[in-house]
């Protein structure tokens, strides 16, 4: 009996090892592309969709009545956060996705777009086409709490430059670029620390998941100035740009700060662009075929006109 059990155990072990060996999937350019997109509430999605085009249409557009239309294929997996997109692309050799350039690390491979790689230089000179602002929002119609107003002053100042650039995004020093197109310039301010941190409710921060690293860094730096813990000052929950705009518009206490990774124009919202970020197109590091894609090729991948990497000419 013991001998039989030993034989069976050996068989199970062999099958198990074979099964796991088979799970090490390699890149196959003839297999279907796994399209990874952000959900429609995402500012990253809006930035990507508003630039990627076949020359006639963009992935996202408004009709004559102002209704939004999305052309990304129904076969795409829609994800609600930057981190999950990166994780899925990392683990799937057939995948393609897009994330904040500030969130890129060595677990994924960045693809050039129209022959240009994302970088500080190519974002500022506009040669890298898929880019967007990181936006800080408050409610125009309510008086900010002293604590929230002080943190906004910090975010408006040059003090936050290091917090931004530590995470690969480009702090905006040009007053014109800090404002929406056609609106009054917003110069960089100077932050002066108060004698003590103002009393009151926590500062509520809602919005873009792409801005997680930047706002977390800024919150920690601000709290350190007052020798307190950031978690005692801030309530940070990031679920997408549209939720940040919604939270700001519904603010009645004056303690809400919203974050968006797309430009915001709303009569109830006061906003400024704190930095610029590229939207990086990413594939698995196992993908040895794709180094560069045109905007048209991206359009055809995301509308499922191109279904395999070998179809890219």
Tell me the per-residue pLDDT of 107-152, one tens digit each, with 9 for 90 and over.
999 999 999 999 989 998 999 999 999 999 999 999 999 999 999 9
- Cα 203 to Cα 120, 251, 252, 254, 294: the distances in Å are 31, 11, 13, 9, 42
Q: Cβ distance 60 to 69 under 8 Å?
A: yes
pLDDT value of position 11: 46
Question: Residue 21: its pLDDT value, please?
Answer: 41
Q: Which residue(s) pair with 58 in the sheet?
A: 53
In order of 172, 231, 300, the CA distances from 234 in angstroms are 24, 5, 42
pTM: 0.76
SS3 32: strand
User: Which helix (H) or strand (E) segment is 206 a member of?
Assistant: strand 203-207
The pLDDT of residue 304 is above 50? yes
Mean pLDDT of 273-289: 96
**Encoded tokens for 92:** 């799937």
SS3 21: helix
Contact 252, 142 (CB under 8 A): yes
- 3 state DSSP class of 224: helix
Interacting residues of 223 by C-beta distance below 8 A, sequence separation 6+: 229, 230, 232, 233, 234
Q: What is the pLDDT of residue 14?
A: 44
């Amino acid at each position: 009996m013991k001998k039989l059990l030993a034989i069976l155990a050996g068989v199970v072990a062999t099958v198990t090892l074979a099964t796991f060996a088979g799970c090490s999937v390699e890149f196959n350019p003839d297999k279907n592309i796994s399209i990874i997109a952000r959900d429609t509430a995402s500012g990253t999605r809006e930035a990507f969709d508003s630039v990627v085009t076949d020359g006639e249409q963009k992935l996202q557009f408004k009709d004559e009545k102002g209704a939004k239309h999305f052309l990304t294929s129904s076969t795409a997996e829609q994800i609600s956060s930057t981190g999950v997109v990166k994780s899925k692309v990392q683990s799937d050799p057939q995948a393609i996705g897009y994330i904040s350039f500030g969130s890129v690390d060595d677990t994924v491979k960045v693809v050039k777009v129209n022959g240009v790689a994302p970088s500080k230089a190519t974002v500022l000179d506009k040669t890298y086409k898929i880019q967007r602002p990181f936006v800080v929002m408050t409610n125009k119609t309510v008086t900010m709490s002293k604590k929230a107003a002080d943190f906004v002053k910090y975010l408006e100042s040059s003090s936050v430059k290091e917090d931004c650039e530590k995470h690969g995004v480009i702090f905006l020093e040009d007053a014109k670029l800090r404002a929406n197109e056609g609106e009054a310039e917003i110069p960089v301010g100077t932050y002066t620390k108060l004698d003590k941190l103002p009393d009151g409710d926590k500062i509520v921060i809602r919005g873009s998941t792409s801005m997680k690293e930047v706002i977390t860094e800024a919150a920690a730096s601000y709290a350190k100035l007052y020798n307190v813990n950031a978690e005692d000052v801030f309530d940070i929950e990031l679920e997408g740009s549209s939720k940040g705009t919604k939270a700001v518009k519904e603010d009645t206490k004056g303690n809400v700060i919203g974050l968006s990774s797309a430009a915001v124009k709303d009569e109830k919202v006061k906003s400024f662009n704190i930095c610029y970020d590229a939207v990086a197109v990413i594939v698995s590091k196992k993908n040895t075929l794709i180094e560069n894609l045109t905007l048209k090729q991206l359009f055809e991948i995301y509308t499922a006109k191109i279904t395999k990497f070998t179809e890219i000419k």
